[in-house]
Amino acid sequence: MQKITKTLVLTLMIFNSTLTASEELSNAELEEIYTANEDNSEGNQVSLDQEQLLTYLEDSMEFETQKLKLKNQLEIEKLKSEIAKLKDDNKNSDSRFESESIDYYDNNSYESEKNIPQKETKPTLLLSSDVGGITTFGVSVNGKLTFVRLNKEFKDNSGKKYYVRSQNGKYVILGK
């Protein structure tokens, strides 16, 4: 491709130089050159070569653009097939997961599990944030994350009241 562009540039430069040289020549000299060129078949051969070169370049450009389009279409088809595979895998794994996770209970067993008291845990301090002078804490209460401000009280599921305080430079959760 580079050779083609180099030869095209070279022929254009030669053609351009002949045009500028012909402008400098007088009319009488031009008539002599034209008559000599009519007799000489090489002048016609040069123009035919240039036309062939131009058609070759046009064909090459068309070929390259079509090649690029086909390459892009191939990539799109590959991606579509990968997406379809992933969707099928997800459907298979979801259906398998759903079938494994279904548990069947008797009414009696469910009621007996409902009556069993769950172990209540004390709230734990997970994170603290100080933005714009306001300190906020992330507290885990029975597995749920709640956000609480310093010295503001909050309740757990059983109704016990707690609050976050600062003691000796550390933050702790105290119950009321």
Please give the chain's pLDDT, 176 residues, in tens.
777 777 777 777 777 766 565 555 455 565 666 665 555 545 455 577 888 888 898 999 999 999 999 999 999 999 999 999 988 888 877 665 554 444 445 555 555 555 555 566 788 888 888 888 888 999 998 888 889 998 889 888 888 899 888 888 888 888 87
Asked if the structure places residue 18 within a domain, the reply is: no
What is residue 113's DSSP assignment?
A: H
Q: Is position 32 within any domain?
A: no
Range of the domain at 171: 120-175
> What is d(CA 148, CA 156) in angstroms, rounded to the nearest whole number?
12
Distance linking the first and last C-alpha atoms of the chain: 84
Q: Which residue has the tokens 């409902």?
A: 114
Other Cβ atoms less than 10 A from the Cβ of 164: the count is 22
158 located within any domain: yes
* pTM as predicted: 0.33
Residue 112 lies in a domain: no
Residue 81 inside a domain? The answer is no
Considering the domain boundaries, does residue 23 fall inside one? no
Instruction: Give residues with Cβ within 8 angstroms of 67, minimum separation 6.
Output: none
Domain count, the chain: 1
- Give a yes or no: residue 146 inside a domain: yes
